[in-house]
Structure 1
């Protein structure tokens, strides 16, 4: 073994610090486990090394002199004394005998005291959180500056059992929606411990505080435009999706589009309205069960994402007819072809055979790799002909 591979004092401290960073030492202390002395083996010179590298071996042994390490107990053993080799005593293990010595060695006494203080204070308001803290001490220290606000937020949510509210309505000094969004990961861990099972939707991800913990969600809005000659003082509306639960009087046909300018420029169509999907058509349309009773047309881009949205819409409303999403339209607008940067996943069970084949050709690059035809590039004459 070369002198470069002999264990240096700073390497022992680094090894102990890595275990401290994992939280294992503080967890053991928080759970009341008795401290067991920690021994770190030392790689040092052999008897032959002391003969061939005497100066380096002496310097290494002196670096482990007990006086230099008041927080460590250095265990030694004799080496040599046989085969004409000189006898020497070398360090073989460094011991930490108490927790206080460990905290001092790692210079974390202040952090330990802070952790215990925060845990004692938390236990006064949320004993279950105090138990969680014992198993996640490093998360506690990482969030120490905001700890009391985080605990107050979790307790406020726990104690608020009235009707659901928006996150904005949490009323705690120093806490606002920005604070909640910034700390939603740690708050989710808190809430999973302080809330009863009935108030946690485990199907919703922890990143979605609103859905997982029963807050009021921002309503979905539907923007619709009247295409027919309806006796109304307006031609366009934006309404909450859940409030559009009944079919507007006189509507027999509905067109769903993804592009705003195409939506705005649609020509008149008797007894019809247009709905702007904006990429989320299926999420919006699920509220409108009356769409089962009208002629429903979906028109999206001719690309893999357009067919994926069509597949979602038809999964809700099987009678949905696609509009201008066919091979003839694609091939007749070659001058307007573009590129789809990322393609949607395969597996679209609700497409017709013709739609499915075209979607597969787009995915395979039959005409051109990553081919797409955006709906706003289709000629007005083609649109009018399709709507007539």
Structure 2
């Protein structure tokens, strides 16, 4: 708007463009709603302005006289002092074609209507959504054909035993799907029957939401007793769930080097828990019959992982995650980057008291003792 506060042609175009960017005009056009002449009121000079600021008023009126894209409705202002003068009062758009010319969007309109015409016979549900969100479609115009083909292929061929890598559309690979998963999710939510969508999973979990086969989780473990032929094994969690390990005691540790250097122990195995990934052990129901020992860092997150593990295996006990161990290694303390303050309901009273002190910084700011900083002799004593 001009410094005077009077509406300029550019102001009108900006107002129209905001509505274009919201998709209002394209939605109306492609849904078949007839155009009703659109009038936009203009803020212009008063009769007093016409007398006191004659040159400014004349200049403002002149720029509207040169405006050829809009139909301008005039009104009369003035009176006895300067006489009546005709000034612009309202700008009108009388047709869709005139609107496209004002906005310079003829190419976008043609492009969208072509995409809509091509999509409608193949995927009517997606075409209906296109009409409601035309600008979102235009943002993906270059790859729209591939997007539609991908959605139709998934609808026709995908099944729960299939990996995403098996989607077989010319020119489409898993990187394409990952890159466009947001728009693909929107389209698939409208194309697929409800039973093929897991709405408990967000669109960011594309594989889970559309029931593709997930990449299998693995667990690494070592036998700590006599040699079984392999020093270490990594197996799928789903398979290990059906094949209990032949051991009385199962240790779970966070740190990889600590896992690799874990002391020997009779009739025992050690599992690499990988921090919060330890929760993948929840499907190993046979752990309920084992002496299950968790050893993590002495910090808020280490105790949170212990708490989470106990939600499934309430009998799990902790190792070297006590106040005595922490105080005995004060010279090895470091600072925990982002402590948690969540409620941990499964901790035993001594563990809960230690957790409270860590949260409250009672022993120092964000105290942390990583398990790899604990002396090896202390580990051997705890295991032995």
Tell me if structure 1 keeps the 8 A contact 2:306–2:318.
Answer: yes
Deviations 1:68-95 (A, max 9, x none): 233211111111214x343211111111
SS in 1 for 2:307: helix
Q: How many residues align?
A: 384
Aligned to 2:271: 275
Aligned to 2:330: 334
Matched, 1:157 2:154: yes
Matched, 1:233 2:229: yes
- Counterpart of 2:184 (choices 166, 183, 187) is 187
Aligned to 1:255: 251
Aligned to 1:291: 287
Matched, 1:373 2:362: no
- Counterpart of 1:119 (choices 116, 121, 135) is 116
Structure 2 unaligned spans of 5+: none
2-structure distance, mates of 1:3, 1:343? 54
Distance 1:3 1:252, change over 3 A: closer
Tell me if structure 1 keeps the 8 A contact 2:160–2:211.
Answer: no
Report the TM-score, using the length of structure 2 for normalisation: 0.97
Structure 1 unaligned spans of 5+: none
Tell me if structure 2 keeps the 8 A contact 1:43–1:92.
Answer: yes
Aligned to 1:64: 64
Tell me if structure 2 keeps the 8 A contact 1:48–1:85.
Answer: no
Distance 1:249 1:91, change over 3 A: closer
Aligned to 2:347: 351
**How far apart are residue 352 of structure 1 and its match?**
1.0
Aligned to 2:167: 170
Deviates more, 1:25-34 or 1:146-155: 25-34
1-structure distance, mates of 2:218, 2:47? 81
Deviates more, 1:248-257 or 1:334-343: 248-257
Aligned to 1:12: 12
**How far apart are residue 29 of structure 1 and its match?**
1.1
2-structure distance, mates of 1:75, 1:344? 65
Aligned to 2:125: 128
SS in 2 for 1:280: helix
SS in 2 for 1:87: strand
Distance 1:337 1:3, change over 3 A: closer
What's the C-alpha RMSD, in Å, of the aligned pairs? 1.5
